[in-house]
């Protein structure tokens, strides 16, 4: 009787019960976390969109390697066509060493061997090839071929459209000269660091993504590890499952 009397008095006086107080506290925490998360990624976008400021004294920072037209292709009648195509599939690589080599695990006489760093032209996944992101013309598409490759990070095979005549381009190494630098905003960096310390220190980034998108990670993060086993009984009626079990026993 005392419990019912207490609930009746709380209802008449509009007092919150213990469960309602706990729920209000959690809702307030979630609203605060959503506000901080939105503010955090908004500040990241503002920092990323800061303009570039020209440097008084440019300096060299390593080396840059890109693809250029091969000399005989540059002198041919199709030089303009392949030059325009190169602008769409060219890649850039930066390195501190002009030789663009890296140490490998193999050793020879106690010394680590060095191997060249590979660099390929840009390719297109199947969803990019059929989507609006692919800016290739019909004539340019004729120089690409589909290749099936195994992607260990996704644990699946994928179709990639690669350039069929990469011999038309050669690698060219030049000095990487830095002439501009990103502008800085001390107030923006300070606020961004304070929010990041709070979210990282309390491990609230996964909680924010779960509240915002229904999962505890960003949609840009890739799935790692082995693929999960497929449920063979999914979307099957009971009589079909029993029939398959009887057939296996026979």
pLDDT of res. 71:
95
Q: What is the mean pLDDT of the chain?
A: 85
In the chain, the number of structural domains is 2
The better pLDDT of the pair 234, 243 is held by: 243
* 19 and 107 inside one domain: no
Q: Which residue has the higher pLDDT, 46 or 225?
A: 46
Residues 60 and 166 in one domain: yes
Q: Are residues 215 and 111 in the same domain?
A: no
Task: Decide if 170 contacts 157 (C-beta within 8 A).
Answer: no
Q: Is position 244 within any domain? A: no
Residue 248 lies in a domain: no
Residues 138 and 152 in one domain: yes
Are residue 30 and residue 58 in the same domain, yes or no? no
Beta bridge partners of 144: 163
25 versus 242: the higher-pLDDT residue is 25
Angle among Cα 152, 161, 123 to the nearest 5 degrees reads: 75
What are the tokens at 15? Answer: 């007092």
Both 132 and 188 in one domain: the answer is no
Q: Half-sphere exposure of 178 toward its Cβ, with a 13 Å CA cutoff?
A: 12
For residue 243, tell me if it sits in a domain: no
Residue pLDDT, tens place only, 85-114:
999 999 999 999 999 998 887 766 667 788
Q: Are residues 71 and 171 in the same domain?
A: yes
| pTM greater than 0.85 | no
Query: Between the CA of residue 122 and those of 34, 100, 134, 154, 186, what are the distances in Å?
Result: 38, 19, 11, 19, 37
- Owning domain of residue 72: 52-181
Do 203 and 223 fall into the same domain?
yes
Measure the N-to-C terminal CA separation of the chain; round to a whole number of Å: 64
């Amino acid at each position: 009787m005392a419990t019912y009397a207490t609930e009746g008095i709380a209802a008449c006086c509009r007092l919150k019960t213990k469960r309602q107080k706990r729920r209000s506290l959690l809702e307030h925490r979630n609203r605060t976390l959503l506000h901080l998360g939105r503010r955090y990624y908004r500040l990241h976008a503002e920092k990323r969109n800061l303009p570039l400021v020209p440097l008084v004294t440019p300096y060299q920072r390593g080396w840059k390697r890109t693809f250029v037209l091969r000399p005989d292709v540059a002198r041919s009648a199709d030089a303009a066509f392949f030059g325009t195509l190169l602008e769409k599939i060219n890649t850039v690589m930066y390195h501190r060493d002009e030789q663009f080599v890296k140490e490998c695990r193999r050793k020879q006489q106690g010394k680590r061997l060095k191997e060249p760093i590979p660099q390929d032209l840009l390719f297109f996944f199947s969803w990019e090839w059929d989507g609006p992101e692919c800016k290739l013309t019909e004539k340019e598409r004729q120089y690409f071929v589909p290749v099936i490759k195994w992607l260990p990070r996704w644990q699946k095979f994928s179709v990639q459209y690669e350039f069929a005549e990469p011999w038309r381009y050669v690698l060219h190494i030049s000095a990487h000269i830095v002439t501009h630098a990103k502008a800085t905003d001390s107030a923006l960096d300070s606020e961004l660091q304070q929010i990041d310390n709070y979210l990282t220190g309390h491990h609230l980034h996964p909680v924010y993504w779960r509240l915002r998108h229904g999962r505890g990670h960003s949609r840009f993060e890739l799935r790692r590890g082995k693929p999960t086993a497929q449920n063979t009984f999914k979307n099957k009626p009971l009589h079909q499952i029993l029939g398959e079990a009887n057939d296996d026993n026979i």
